Amino acid sequence: MLTESDVRKALKATVKSDRIDSWSLDFDFRKEKALDSLDQVTFVLHLAEDCGLQVPDSDIDKLTSIRAVLDYASARGHG
Amino acid sequence: MAQEVTGEVGICDVTAYVPENRLDLAAAASDFDTDEDFLRSKTGYLKVARKARDEDTSDMAAQAVRRLFDTRPGLAARIGLLILVTQNPDGYGLPHTSAILHGKLGLRDDVAAFDISLGCSGWVYGLSAAKAFMEMNGIDFGLLVTADPYSKVLDSSDRNTMLLFGDAATATLLGRDDRRWRTGKFVFGTNGRQWMDLRVDENRRLRMNGRGIFTFSAVRVPECLRQTLRVNGVALDDVDRILVHQGSRYIVETIGERMKAEQKTVFDANDIGNTVSSTVPMLLAEDARDSDRTVLVAGFGVGLSWAATILKRERGST
């Protein structure tokens, strides 16, 4: 089961910064330009390796916030 | 009767040729919807080298080889093998570009010359092929040349590839005398299920699935490096430097992190770009330090394909 803590851990592993702690559940990574295109694929790699959540290329754009990731995982039985 | 030539073949010298022209990516950043900070921290290339319009693959290759010949008078007459690694040959690929290069260099008629069609893993594959070929056939000196000018197939509107690839060529002299580096055991691999991730399309333009290539690099390459250490019985602590294909700064740093060897994993191609099969020999030519005694080298990319080995400095050589 994917938790908010798992997602934050994957984000921290991606951007290597504690600033993730200040991001709300609905903080939009894309709109705020907090993750660039390379960060996004690294984030998805951490979700796969550390949390077992496989995200196909076609779904990467759906992962816009922590809540969006949790909802995405939940809809696929990881929530 | 020819005298029998025996002994292990190793690397005697490496030279590089980089065209003078540069595409200034920092100046053109906004055209590619990016900025200098992204270039500096992620791709790692502020400029990329571009061959002259009338310069062909064999011209670049010849320039790299002539740098070797200039410092070793009489060497040209002693070459018995010429291998060229390229996927962007002269003309339409027939004849093989190594034959054209052979003519331009004025090598002997009894030289074996052939191309190897591989991308970023090509130099490491070529090293193994050249060494085995020379040892089996008793050849004194061989040339392993890389020249793969991607500018021939880049789509000028494609941010994915325009920000990465540069043109360059290298020449590696292999032989038994005056060796600088001895090679260890090699590890090779191929994943043909993902061949679409880096290819030239029907319009002869390069297409790259950035995510596929990144994930492959981040997952497969560290596995390959660890396997190479294992088969050679070498501990990571005993490796002075890790010289991997310079796909991008981000990829090289990710591999370094995953190997827990950030300090040893070199990124240095700032104003040249990702020069495909030339990046690893260029590091060896220009960045290997005298104190480097054991170096882990790896190439990976198009195919998908990967290869790695250990290089050990010969005693007394610098």
Complex-level ipTM beyond the 0.90 threshold = no
pLDDT digits (tens, 9 = 90+) for B84-117: 999 999 999 999 999 999 999 999 999 999 999 9
- Closest approach of chain B CAs to the CA of A5, in angstroms? 22
Contact B105, B289 (CB under 8 A): no
Give percent helix, percent strand, percent coil of chain B, each to the nearest 5.
Answer: 35, 25, 40
pLDDT digits (tens, 9 = 90+) for B171-224: 999 999 889 999 999 999 999 999 999 999 999 999 999 889 999 999 999 999
The pair of structure tokens assigned to A52 is 């077992």
Q: Which residues of A touch B (CB under 8 A)?
A: 36-38, 41-42, 44-45, 49, 57, 60
The pair of structure tokens assigned to B314 is 């010969």
| Helix H or strand E encompassing B235 | none
Whether the model clears a pTM of 0.90, i.e. scores above it, the answer is yes
pLDDT digits (tens, 9 = 90+) for B45-90: 999 999 999 999 999 999 999 999 999 999 999 999 999 999 999 9
Report the distance separating Cα B153 and Cα B288, nearest Å: 31
pLDDT digits (tens, 9 = 90+) for B260-298: 999 999 998 678 999 999 999 999 998 667 788 999 999
pLDDT digits (tens, 9 = 90+) for B134-173: 999 999 999 999 999 999 999 999 988 999 999 999 999 9
pLDDT digits (tens, 9 = 90+) for B245-255: 999 999 999 99
- Residue for token digits 């056939």? B137
Q: Which residues neighbour A32 within 8 Å (Cβ) at sequence distance 6 or greater?
A: none
Candidates B38, B214, B218; nearest CB to A36: B38
Q: What is the DSSP letter of B179?
A: -
- CA nearest to B57, candidates B276, B271, B286: B276
Are residues A38 and B214, on separate chains, in Cβ contact within 8 Å? yes
Candidates A38, A45, A49; nearest CB to B250: A38
Are residues A44 and B250, on separate chains, in Cβ contact within 8 Å? no
The predicted pLDDT at position B1 comes to 44
- CA nearest to B84, candidates B142, B32, B159: B142
Contact B59, B148 (CB under 8 A): no
Report the distance separating Cα B96 and Cα B94, nearest Å: 5
Nearest chain A residue to B211 by CA: give it. Answer: A41
Candidates B209, B210, B215; nearest CB to A45: B215
- Closest approach of chain B CAs to the CA of A2, in angstroms? 21
Contact B256, B242 (CB under 8 A): yes
Low-confidence ranges of chain A (pLDDT < 70): 79
A contact test, residue of B33, B211, B257 with most A CBs within 10 A: B211
Q: Which positions in chain A touch B254 (Cβ < 8 Å)?
A: 42
Contact A32, A52 (CB under 8 A): no
